[in-house]
Amino acid sequence: MVPKMNVSRIAIVGGGIGGLTAALALQHFGYRVSIFEQARELKEIGAGVTITPNAMHALNFLGTGERVASEAGPTEPYWIRHFQTGERLKLRANGADYVERFGADYYQVHRADLHAALVDAILKNDPDCVVLDHCFRSLTQEPDRVVATFTNGKSYSSDILVGCDGCASRVRASVFGDEAVNYTGQVAFRALIPMRDLPTSIEKMPFSMFVGRNRALLHYPLRHRTLMNVISVAREPAWQAEGWAIPATVDEFVKTHSDFHSDALDLIGAVSSATLFKWGLRDREPLQQYTKGRVTMLGDAAHPMTPFLGQGACLAIEDGMVLGRAFAAANSYEEAFHMYENARKDRANGAQLASRQQADELQGVTERGANPGVNAEERGLFRYNPVTVPLITAA
């Protein structure tokens, strides 16, 4: 496709799910992009991610949905269970009629599989699109370009730049000032367990979420039920360590959940310390403006959110799709950024705040105690289609 505008150099900082989707969408509409990623190798962490119909629309449109779905395998509903009694409180994600209701399906995907599907599609379009080992340091905006500099001493001039560098975004700090990235008071444990190592109690009910008293533990199978994904988020007042992959011990995991139902403890008991990691969740206040001049923000860099609605990656995918469409529809980059921000800000910032509320419900800190809360589906988030949502031009 021939690009509509004369925007020949687009820089994307960050090769996570958001940056990759934005790149693929822009390529789809004829634009050439360069992704600058700090890592020496493009990869994702070993964990699951739920991709709901709102995001599947974009993956389907961009040609990666089928691969993601076929690698994930069918998704089944999961039970919300009381953390102590194990009582089944509510059946969730009963997706049998999602295609009929929302026009797309729901998948529980290994992050590495989603990431690889996006990378392969991008590199097929342009083998030189990804520039590794480039850690963004700062940028300057000039009348006709934006110049990014990297910690390796290199720099790159582009017509526009998209900051997709995650929660602790340096692009955001460069453009909007260096405000705090807050520790949310929540620590996440994550592990993968081969299905053959699971206790019978979990084999019988492989999809569930135990909720209550400051914790929420979710488990669901990945890759056609060959791996069990386990993620638990627990309130913990203080946190010092940095990073996504801090090794944790099974003893520590058990201790944090010692009052949980025996099924949950059986599951934790099957974890091997070699695959167990923890990290402190971080959050920022909603960004009131995503764009300044020739730079805009996308994904966690724009709207980092806690994982209680399972929507951070889905919203990053939506962002990327809408950004691509805006560049296909607009007559200038200013107009495209306006269309993008207009279509995205209220939705993404709203989900960011809703996710905090949902934490309080699931973790039983409201008067109602442990309860299923109001999930993303019930909040209407699955009804959004980033491929067709109207894009409004500046007045």
Ligand X SMILES: Cc1cc2nc3c(=O)[nH]c(=O)nc-3n(C[C@H](O)[C@H](O)[C@H](O)COP(=O)(O)OP(=O)(O)OC[C@H]3O[C@@H](n4cnc5c(N)ncnc54)[C@H](O)[C@@H]3O)c2cc1C
Q: Which residues contact ligand X by CB under 6 A?
A: 13-19, 36-39, 49-50, 135-136, 164-166, 170, 188, 231, 281, 299-301, 307, 310-314, 316
Name 114's bridge partners.
none
How far apart are CB 74 and ligand X at their closest, in Å? 17
How far apart are CB 192 and ligand X at their closest, in Å? 13
Looking at beta carbons only, is 7 or 188 nearer to ligand X? 188
- Evaluate whether 43 touches 113 at the Cβ level (below 8 Å): no
* Other Cβ atoms within 10 Å of 384 Cβ, number: 21
How far apart are CB 230 and ligand X at their closest, in Å? 11
How far apart are CB 200 and ligand X at their closest, in Å? 26
How far apart are CB 41 and ligand X at their closest, in Å? 10
Looking at beta carbons only, is 310 or 386 nearer to ligand X? 310
DSSP string of 335-362?
HHHHHHHHHHHHHHHHHHHHHHHHHHHH
Looking at beta carbons only, is 90 or 137 nearer to ligand X? 137
CA distances from 261 to 136, 209, 235, 266, 267 (A): 46, 12, 18, 9, 10
Looking at beta carbons only, is 5 or 10 nearer to ligand X? 10
Q: Tokens representing 357?
A: 């509320």
How far apart are CB 159 and ligand X at their closest, in Å? 19
Sheet of 130-131: strand order equals 130-131, 33-36, 10-13, 160-163, 295-297, 291-292
How far apart are CB 316 and ligand X at their closest, in Å? 4
* Other Cβ atoms within 10 Å of 369 Cβ, number: 13
- Evaluate whether 5 touches 336 at the Cβ level (below 8 Å): yes
How far apart are CB 301 and ligand X at their closest, in Å? 6
How far apart are CB 305 and ligand X at their closest, in Å? 7
Looking at beta carbons only, is 31 or 36 nearer to ligand X? 36
Range 14-36 burial, b when 16+ CB lie within 10 A, else e: bbbbbbbbbbbbbbbbebbbbbb
CA torsion, ordered 123, 127, 133, 139, to nearest 10 deg: -90
How far apart are CB 395 and ligand X at their closest, in Å? 30
Looking at beta carbons only, is 85 or 151 nearer to ligand X? 151
- Evaluate whether 334 touches 288 at the Cβ level (below 8 Å): no
Looking at beta carbons only, is 54 or 371 nearer to ligand X? 54
Angle between helices 111-125 and 65-72 (to 10 degrees): 150
Looking at beta carbons only, is 5 or 210 nearer to ligand X? 210
Amino acid at 185: G
Range 318-341 burial, b when 16+ CB lie within 10 A, else e: bbbbbbbbbbbebeebebbbbbbb
Report which of 101, 102, 166, 170 is spatially closest to residue 312, judged by C-alpha positions: 166
Looking at beta carbons only, is 138 or 342 nearer to ligand X? 138
How far apart are CB 2 and ligand X at their closest, in Å? 28
Cα 317 to Cα 49: distance, rounded to the nearest angstrom: 12
Looking at beta carbons only, is 5 or 290 nearer to ligand X? 290
Looking at beta carbons only, is 141 or 201 nearer to ligand X? 141
Cα 115 to Cα 92: distance, rounded to the nearest angstrom: 26
Beta strands in 288-391 (DSSP E): 291-292, 295-297
Cα 117 to Cα 103: distance, rounded to the nearest angstrom: 21
